[in-house]
Copies of this chain bind each other. A is one copy, B any other.
Amino acid sequence: MAEQTTRTDVNTLGEFGLIEHLTGNFEVKNSSSLKGVGDDAAVIDNGGFLTLVSTDLLVEGIHFDLMYSPLKHLGYKAVVVNLSDIYAMNGRPKQVTVSIAISNRFSVEALDELYAGIRAACEHYQVDLVGGDTSSSNKGLLISVTAIGQGEPGKVVYRNTARVGDLICITGDVGAAYLGLQILEREKQLFLSNAAIQPDLEGQTYLIGRQLKPEARKDMIEMFAQQQLIPTAMIDISDGVSSDLTHICRQSGVGAFLEESGVPIHPDAQQMAIKFGLDPITTALSGGEDYELLFTIDPNDVDKVKYLPDIYIAGEITPAADGIQLHTKGGNIHPITAQGWKHF
């Protein structure tokens, strides 16, 4: 390695800061590159449909723990999290490439399990596996998935187009995947301290399922098409509502407020948060990996979503100067800060 006179730790930048730092000075050279770094997916004009491209790395020990992630679920999730990025552009995923790096502790049978999950996701979402690469690794398993989708010109939804007065909507419920992870981590620690202790996962199917086998909101994109609704901005909730709403606000140059009562929380998540001594709303806003959609709509479109199942109006876009705030049920106002997943 070349000698360096200065050494800046990557932690000083954080994940988003690092991406901005590394890719900020790349200029776009092709007119077909409509959108590059900075949204859920890149947007490419091919003269017909728009091509959407999104890519994610999943690293053992960082993003997943094979002590409690069955390989089949992991394969499923690796695909789903990428498809979610395509849906978050109001697009339809069509293809995926899957590359894996594996240490020699993985057998063919183990990889078959992984690919059974990948296949199940491809079946469920009707996407095609069209490529990939396999390599050995010196340590652990790494999965790199790229999803390719189609978008219609004029209907692709970005992060940077929310406007003051737009309503903020959240699909499904949030915070459950994070609590599922906490349960799995707790049981792992108990098991490590005493292998005779059997995991106590009784009655936690919902939360654990949200962590181990998330689904992407294909149904929402289909519903938008039926309702002829085009959100004004959209992102998938991978890092947590706080972090993902902050992305929309920062990129759109706006502020926002969320009503605590409008943020959808599953009853199991509500109870489990309290059991863990956590504040349910904080967990709901900071917990990542729900893969729900957070989107904004023109207030004139409110009738198109008001009676739809599983969509919750959670707040409103405000001028940037107002910041990003939570209006609590008790009538207090708290600033919302981006937290998200810190993998570094």
Contact = CB atoms under 8 A, between A and B. Distances in A.
Interface of A: 1-2, 4-10, 12-13, 15, 18-19, 21-23, 25-26, 28-30, 32-33, 35-37, 41-42, 44, 46-51, 53-63, 66-67, 70-72, 94-95, 97, 99-102, 104, 106-113, 115, 119, 122, 126-140, 142, 144, 146, 148, 150, 343-344
8 contacts: A1-B67, A7-B107, A30-B127, A36-B131, A46-B51, A47-B47, A55-B146, A62-B101
Given A44-B130, A53-B146, A55-B144, 19 more contacts: A7-B107, A10-B104, A13-B108, A22-B115, A22-B134, A26-B122, A29-B122, A29-B126, A30-B127, A33-B95, A44-B148, A46-B49, A55-B97, A56-B133, A57-B133, A57-B144, A61-B138, A138-B140, A139-B139
A128 B28 contact: yes
A174 to B, nearest CB: 22
A218 to B, nearest CB: 14
Given A108-B13, A109-B8, A131 B95 contact: no
A152 to B, nearest CB: 11
Contact of A59 (B28, B101, B106, B343): B101
A30 B71 CA distance: 26
A75 B130 CA distance: 25
A138 to B, nearest CB: 5
A33 B107 contact: no
A214 B66 CA distance: 38
A131 B37 contact: yes
- Specify the main secondary structure of chain A where it touches its partner: mixed
A30 B107 contact: no
Nearest to A47: B48
B134 A19 contact: yes
Nearest to A40: B131
A59 B143 CA distance: 12
Contacts of A138: 59-62, 139-140
Contacts of A29: 122, 126-128
Contacts of A136: 59, 62, 343-344
A148 B53 contact: yes
Given A55-B146, A111-B22, A134 B15 contact: yes
A15 B28 CA distance: 35
A-B pairs with lowest CB-CB distance, top 10: A47-B48, A48-B48, A42-B130, A144-B144, A8-B108, A36-B130, A46-B46, A33-B128, A139-B139, A7-B107
